[in-house]
Amino acid sequence: MLRWSLLGGAVPALLFVAAALGLIWLTGGRRRRWRLRSIVLSVILSALITAALVYYTENIWQPFPDALPAPVIALIGVGVLGLVLLVPRVRHSTWPVRPLAVVISTVVLLAAANGVNIYYGQFPTLGALLGAPVDDELPAGVLPPSDQSTPPAHGDVAQLTIPGSFAARPAMIYLPPVYLVRNSPPLPVLILFAGQPGSPRDWFASGDLADRMDAFAAADHGFAPIVVVPDVLGSALDNPLCMDSRLGKVGTYLDHDVPQWIEHHLRVDGHWAVGGASNGGTCSLQTALRQPKLFPTFLDIAGQDEPTLGTREQTVAATFGGDEAAFRAQNPLDELATHHYPGLAAMLTTSDQDDVYGPQAQRVRQALEAAGVSVQFRVLPGRHGWMSFGPALSQALPWLVTRMGGTR
């Protein structure tokens, strides 16, 4: 059951059919004249509630850096409609029908929620939704021994806490097959960031990172970079913007604590790259600009042109108490306008249906090139979500590994 797909196939199809039938059933139970009036009022009320929820989310709570897309808002509206229609159905039904109405309303809500999930590709399976271990994942806190005589078919996945100046959740680490062999050579390291909302596990559960790295390693006798995915959020909905500010010392954590931990606990060769998707792509840009000698190579998949918590004023107020100069000192576009990075190389990837982050990627590209950065720019089919983030990593791996001096 944990491998059931939530993005296609029987489960989402049955869920959507059940939700459609459920909405029809929820509108029944009264005489035709009152039924029509109830439906109209329910739709109007649902639209008002949805608008209020979107306004609250985007202007007051602000858990996400950008506005919600229209399809996502429509799906939220469907979920709200299922709850609103529940009220008159329960009110005008006998007791045996009431619990059934609650179940059907819940199905509508779940179908709408999974529609949002399909839009972003966040949870491809039931196991990903429930946080189940991914394939080849070791018990938490355990690193595998390097005692095999030949590279196995698959690498290992570890979950370990990287302590430091930021209260981070455990990191997820991919160790390629050759790392598990006795007397194996040190390997290059790719530090990768997930998006927001999210966690380090997203790259494995949603982005199929281990399978993608195994496929790359299989073509080179088990050799591939070590991939470390540290936490840069603190919790799923927090967003400290990958910098040192009032929201946390994420910059110090990534620039010093994480590399020092890696050097102390893993066999690495000193060749580093950094990358990420969405909010993580923005973080990779910020990290590379802060530490261009440590991270001369970075991958920015569908990132923003600058870290944001809404408007520029809201972001500056939340991070530096209104100190514009302090924010500008850590803002990528401002840094690129005043500094040159001739030794830095970047790959920027966006999607052809991404009308929000695509134009921002173009602005970042122009700013990077003006600052002397060597830029590779790719546009992949799809929209902003894990359906394109994973393939973008696979396509970037040969370039990343070449930039890191190869894997041997």
Give pLDDT tens digits for 102-113: 999 999 999 999
The pTM for the full model equals 0.90
* pLDDT given at position 40: 87
Count CA atoms within 13 Å of residue 59 on its CB side: 6
Cα distance between residue 289 and residue 244, in whole Å: 14
* Alpha-carbon torsion angle 1, 231, 286, 404, nearest 10: -70
How would residue 98 be classed by pLDDT, with cut points 50, 70 and 90? confident
Q: Cα angle vertex 266, ends 260, 267, to 5°?
A: 115
Among 257, 190, 182, smallest CA distance to 222 is for 182
334 has a pLDDT exceeding 80: yes
Question: H or E element: which one contains 403?
Answer: helix 386-403
Question: H or E element: which one contains 377?
Answer: strand 374-380
Cα distance between residue 357 and residue 214, in whole Å: 29
Token code pair at residue 284: 């990779």
Mean pLDDT, to the nearest integer, of 221-249? Answer: 95
Cα distance between residue 270 and residue 369, in whole Å: 26
Phi-psi region of 134 (alpha: psi -120 to 50; beta: other; left: phi over 0): beta
Cα distance between residue 37 and residue 306, in whole Å: 48
* pLDDT given at position 350: 96
Mean pLDDT, to the nearest integer, of 66-79? Answer: 92
Cα distance between residue 365 and residue 373, in whole Å: 9
313 has a pLDDT exceeding 60: yes
Cα distance between residue 310 and residue 49, in whole Å: 22
Place of tokens 């790392």: 179
Give pLDDT tens digits for 117-165: 999 999 999 999 998 999 899 999 999 999 999 999 999 999 999 999 9
Among 375, 376, 383, 377, smallest CA distance to 351 is for 383
Distances (CA, A) of 66 to 57, 242, 332, 354: 10, 16, 18, 13
407 has a pLDDT exceeding 60: no
Among 194, 331, 320, 327, smallest CA distance to 247 is for 320
Type of residue numbered 150: T
Helix and strand totals (H; E) in the chain: 15, 10
Q: How do 244-245 and 248-249 pair as beta strands?
A: antiparallel
Give pLDDT tens digits for 274-290: 999 999 999 999 999 99
3-state secondary structure of 219: coil
Cα distance between residue 257 and residue 214, in whole Å: 28
Rg of the Cα atoms in the chain: 24
Q: How do 156-160 and 171-175 pair as beta strands?
A: antiparallel
Cα distance between residue 174 and residue 307, in whole Å: 27
Token code pair at residue 256: 């010093």
How would residue 29 be classed by pLDDT, with cut points 50, 70 and 90? low
Among 126, 40, 127, 52, smallest CA distance to 88 is for 40
Mean pLDDT, to the nearest integer, of 10-28? Answer: 92
Question: Cβ(377)–Cβ(360) under 8 Å?
Answer: no
Token code pair at residue 89: 């159905």
